[in-house]
Structure 1
Amino acid sequence: MEDKELNLIEHLDELRKRLIISVAAFLVFFVVGFIYVKEIYNWFVRDLDVKLVVLGPSDIVWIYFMIASVIAIAGTIPVIATQLWLFVKPALKPIEKKISLSYIPALFILFIVGLSFGYFIIFPTIMQFLVDISGDMVVTNFTAEKYFRFIMHMTLPFGFLFELPVVAMFLTSLGIINPYILQKMRKYAYFVLVIIGVVISPPDIMSDTLVSIPLLFLYEISINLSKIVYKRKLKKEKEWAEQFEEQAEEDKDEVVE
């Protein structure tokens, strides 16, 4: 009983250590983002034909924090993934350690790809559509707070959701899930992903469709990649079993001799 309690305390201490490192990394990247927030702001508004306005001093502070937070999240993702890997590393087999470690850079890359997809494809398409339907009925002016909030809604969710294939591969390699489970959950996953698409997109059918379809496509990619990892995993386990049997036979023969 005491051994179990000591083991639990050691795990909690290790988890606390990993959380502290992750939070510290977030704060460092947040400060870096805060330092370069003006350059990032100017890059985002470079193609705007209108000047953004603010309705109060708090809007400016919110923009600074929002931009710095996105930079901090992007920079902290590989750190969090590494700390998570170090936390579960003792329980992994040697081959699992090697495979799971290779997913860490993929998480960061796919997060950036997701942000880029949202910003360069989804955001301008929906933005242009919404501006066009207003026509000459209204004067188009944007507050800085609403403009950047709109960008965040069109990009940040895609950054996280684009990591779904890597997460599926990682969990499959650990034996937590397999492609057949993902296939059985497909209709429920579709429902959840469509709800997410509707929530993060503006309230019109075109925006909902443009956002939801890529999410469903990502889930199908996750299933196919999970199948590849699952087949390789079964093949490796079969090879290990054969090697174990051969070694057992050799040991048996040596004992008989």
Structure 2
Amino acid sequence: MNRDHDTYDSHADAGSDAEPRLIDHLIELRARLLRAVAGLILVFVCLLPFAADIYAILAQPLLSSLPESGRLVAVDPAGGFFVPVKLAFFAALLVTMPWLLYQAWAFVAPGLYHREKRLAMPLLVSAVALFYTGCAFAFFLVLPSVFGFLARFTPEVVAMTPDIGKYLDFVLVIFLAFGASFELPVALVILVLLGWVTPQQLRESRGYAIVGVFVVAAVITPPDVVSQLMLAIPMCILYELGIVASRWLKPREDAGTAGPSPTA
């Protein structure tokens, strides 16, 4: 009877200890979310007065492909106001991405082992840098090439007057597609570190990966050859970089986790 009573007391103590820990985690999560949202709102408010200027910069790849008299139009009467505001919000989201990811990292990091922290931080920094690189690649190289290609094949009797809202949606999709596609090396490294694949398997599957890359590029890019090739070729290069990075990290990971050999 005493043994049952002691068991009940131990379970009660464990439950009473778990409840404060859960409350502490919820309080910490709320604080991190508030900091993340506050940072996003602060940057958004700072960018809001420059929303029209930001849109003018974003429209340059298209305007440079149009005749000198070419301009964008706002089909929606309120589009001239809401579209730049929408762009300012997405620009704030892009600018504050490191801050948002840091808040997520600060919440998760205390529960990670030292080895996991040592690997997670470089992967997180690499993921952010690659996403920015993909967006910059899309803006400076892909968009001018795509719009130049489309303008050359547009009949002269057709006046190109794109809607500002549709243009913004198009550019955001391109940014997201290229930013996410440039995360391929990080995704491959994570798969290798999790033990789901090996660098040797990635090398042997190179042919299938190239076919898959071209299929993905054909699906997520506009229906023109230029943008498809400008996404597929960098992804093939990034696939090779992912193999190299996984081969470099995997031996270090195995060396770090290997324990001392047993002695007789």
CA RMSD of aligned residues (A): 3.4
Whether 1:180 aligns to 2:198 is: yes
Percent same amino acid among aligned pairs? 29
- C-alpha change, 1:230 and 1:4, in structure 2 (3 Å) is farther
CA distance in 2, matches of 1:163, 1:191: 18
Residue 253 (structure 1) aligns with? none
Report how far residue 177 of structure 1 moved.
4.7
**Residue 178 of structure 1 contacts residue 227 of structure 1 at CA under 8 Å; is this kept in 2?**
no
2:111 to 91, 95, 108: 91
Q: TM-score, normalised by structure 2?
A: 0.73
SS of the residue 2:147 aligns to: helix
> Displacement, 1:223?
3.3
Determine which of 244, 247, 256 is the counterpart of 1:227.
Answer: 247
Q: What is the alpha-carbon distance in structure 1 between the residues aligned to residue 92 and residue 25 of structure 2? A: 27
| Residue identity in the other structure for 1:39 | D
In the alignment, what sits opposite 1:255? none
- C-alpha distance in 1, partners of 2:33/2:134? 25
Summarize the Cα distance change of 1:146–1:101 in structure 2 as closer, same or farther, 3 Å threshold.
same
**What secondary structure does 1:135 align onto?**
coil
Tell me the TM-score normalised to structure 1 length.
0.75
Match of 1:161 in 2: 181
Give the structure 1 partner of residue 32 of structure 2.
18
The answer to whether residue 246 in structure 2 is matched with residue 214 in structure 1 is: no
Checking the alignment, whether the CA contact within 8 Å between 2:83 and 2:164 is kept in structure 1 is yes
Aligned with 2:95: secondary structure?
Answer: helix
Per-residue Cα deviation, 1:126-177 (whole angstroms, up to 9, x for no partner): 11111111132412222222223222222232223323434554x469x535
> Is residue 66 from structure 1 mapped to residue 80 from structure 2 by the alignment?
no
Corresponding position of 2:3: none
Q: How many residues align?
A: 241
Identify the residue that residue 149 of structure 1 maps to in structure 2. 169
TM-superposed CA distance for 1:121, in Å, is: 1.6
> 1:116 offset after TM fit, Å?
0.8
The one-letter amino acid of 2:56's match is: N
Aligned to 2:54: 40
Alignment match of 1:111 (pick from 131, 134, 147): 131
Structure 1: unaligned runs, 5 residues or longer: 250-257
Query: In the TM superposition, what is the alpha-carbon distance from 1:56 to its structure 2 partner?
Result: 2.7
In our comparison, the structure showing a higher alpha carbon Rg is: 2
Opposite residue 80 of structure 2, the aligned amino acid is I
TM-superposed CA distance for 1:188, in Å, is 8.6
CA offset at residue 46 of structure 1? 4.5
CA shift for structure 1 position 117: 0.6
Amino acid at match of 1:211: L
Select between 14-23 and 186-195 the one with higher mean Cα deviation.
Answer: 186-195
1:118 deviates by 0.7
Shift, 1:180, TM fit: 1.6
* Gap regions ≥5 residues in structure 2: 1-10
